[in-house]
Amino acid sequence: MHKTYFHNRKHINEKKDQKKIIPLQYNGKKRIVDINILLNRVRVDEIKETKRKIIFYSSSILSLGLFSIFIMFIK
């Protein structure tokens, strides 16, 4: 199956069967994974996400309030 790519104003025709497969290199080293570190990272990410949500909702309520006050002064 042919695929045609257009990149930098050049057409490149490529067959799917002729793609090079890059072999993975195995270092032979085992990595130690500490589950506590991973769980702490998840907790910290949840706290950051909660803070982002609070900031977003409070800023949207503040902007809506300021807009309503602005509309009241115009009338």
Compute the residue count for the chain: 75
The answer to the question of residue 52 being in a domain is yes
Residues of the domain holding 45: 36-75
pLDDT digits (tens, 9 = 90+) for 28-71: 777 788 899 999 999 999 999 999 999 999 999 999 999 999 99
Q: 34 is written with which tokens?
A: 């500490």
Number of domains forming the structure of the chain = 1
Residue 26 covered by a domain: no
pTM score above 0.75:
no
Distance CA 73, CA 65 (A): 13
Q: Is residue 65 part of a domain?
A: yes
Residue 19 lies in a domain: no
Q: What pLDDT, on a 0 to 100 scale, did the predictor assign at position 19?
A: 58
- Range 13-39 average pLDDT: 71
d(CA 19, CA 13): 12
